[in-house]
Homo-oligomer: A and B are copies of this chain.
């Protein structure tokens, strides 16, 4: 029970911060979420689990899916992925379209939307049933209950002009091989995956365990690839706030506009938080605070 008391303590301490952020409203399907939802879950590579709050309730993982997307692509084609997407932080307050233009259609990294769309296009070269195969991949990570939310998929499609602009723009530069609609459909399905904190924590454990799922012993990525996915999460996982997250929290992680954040302590555990109220950079306010307190009190920053 080593982390239970700490989680309980942090949960109580952070709870009063509710009310200071905004739930994502760029698509109707996300805007109706209860802003007071709040859960935390830890799972260690030895299989211990610690949870508090709404840790069993599923929510839209949104951009957290970009890690599954990248991991699956590296599993399939290895370092070839870097021919189509960069590996540097975007550092651009104006989002990625400007950089796409300067850099001739090559997205800066796989965790901005343009980059995830390019990786999705790569996946389509190698997967017969990209949506089904993605669910199977997450199942391998021991999360059998994962599903797409078709309402979210449709809502993304109805309002996805910005993503459509990105894919069209990359295709104009020759960096998208498949049909625009096919790439977007696959990408929106990934974004619509619903998981709980408990499931997210478990699903990221292979990244804390040098590429192997602890429960099954199945190797997902080789040691080097797993560490490198962590490195990219640290440098690129939080949009314009990547530097601040590394500074405050000091763990590799990834956030989504659904209010989820998941982070990895290499060699030990993964931790997931869910709270839908976002700061201006699109990251969960309570989520970041929980992780900051967690590393400060445990000393488990990687630095």
Q: Which A residues lie at the B interface, using CB under 8 A?
A: 86-95, 97-103, 108-109, 161-162, 164-166, 168-169, 171-172, 180, 223-224, 227-228, 230-232, 234-236, 240-244, 246-247, 250, 252, 266, 296, 299, 301-303
Contacts and interface: CB of A to CB of B under 8 A. Distances in A.
A29 to B, nearest CB: 17
Contacts of A231: 243, 246-247, 250, 301, 303
A102 B302 CA distance: 32
Given A91-B92, A266-B303, A235 B230 contact: no
Contact of A88 (B88, B227, B242, B296): B242
Interface centre among A109, A224, A303, by most chain B C-beta atoms within 10 angstroms, is A303
A89 B243 contact: yes
A121 to B, nearest CB: 13
A162 to B, nearest CB: 4
A251 to B, nearest CB: 10
Contact of A101 (B95, B109, B161, B172): B95
Interface centre among A109, A164, A171, by most chain B C-beta atoms within 10 angstroms, is A164
A268 to B, nearest CB: 12
Contacts of A241: 88
Q: 8 smallest A-B Cβ distances: which pairs?
A: A91-B91, A89-B89, A230-B303, A165-B169, A165-B168, A88-B243, A161-B172, A162-B172
A103 B108 contact: no
A94 B101 contact: yes
B91 A102 contact: no
A175 to B, nearest CB: 10
Nearest to A96: B101
Contacts of A97: 97-98, 100-101, 169
Contacts of A103: 93
Contacts of A242: 88-89, 235
A252 B246 CA distance: 11
Contacts of A246: 231-232, 234-235
A296 B223 CA distance: 10
Given A89-B91, A95-B101, 7 more contacts: A87-B247, A91-B99, A94-B102, A109-B243, A232-B246, A235-B246, A235-B247
Given A98-B98, A101-B98, A303-B252, A87 B162 contact: no
A303 B103 CA distance: 29
